[in-house]
Amino acid sequence: MEGEPRPGDVVVRGFVFDMPSVFEDFVTVTLRQALVGSGGRCSVRDTMYLDDRNAIRMRPDFGWYSDGGTPLAVADAKYKVGSRMGYPDADLYQMLAYCTALGLTEGHLLYAKGHAPHTAHRIKRAGITLHQHALELDQPPAGLLADIQTLAHHLTSAVP
């Protein structure tokens, strides 16, 4: 057929974003900025271990530590959308492991969207509460940054 492009005649240029990585980077950078002036230091994807022999490696997306190195808060960003049934249980197990290894009584999972802005689960016989926060990404930047600031306040209010 005349006028039809042949294979190789059309060049398409584009690029692909790894959206889970973009979301994790956005959350960790803005959360760190929101905690400026709160004291301590922030860490991003630092390696830690669940066991005494350092065989079970973990890397939470975000940690906040006192100036002396005591863990104060832990958070993990998840580029997932919650269903009416909630988020995957595996995320909660992962955060429970982070809290256990760090000796924290609270942990925070940060999702790209959800049906409720915040849900909390108190873990039986562990004394640990796991928070699930939904960040609505389809809003103006100022609103999203305000939500991150609120989240940072939530993290700091749990510190004794």
> How many residues in total does the chain contain?
160
What string of pLDDT tens digits covers the 160 residues of the chain? 566 777 777 777 777 888 889 999 999 999 999 999 888 999 999 999 999 999 999 999 999 999 999 999 999 999 987 666 667 789 999 999 999 999 999 999 999 886 778 889 999 999 999 999 989 888 899 999 999 999 999 888 876 6
Is residue 117 within 8 Å of residue 143, measured between CB atoms? no
Pairing verdict, β 128-134 and 71-81: unpaired
Residues 30 and 99: their CA atoms lie apart, in Å, by 22
State which H helix or E strand residue 155 sits in: helix 141-157
* Nearest CA-CA partner of 71 in 96, 37, 106, 97: 106
The region, left, alpha or beta by phi > 0 then psi within -120 to 50, assigned to residue 39 is: left
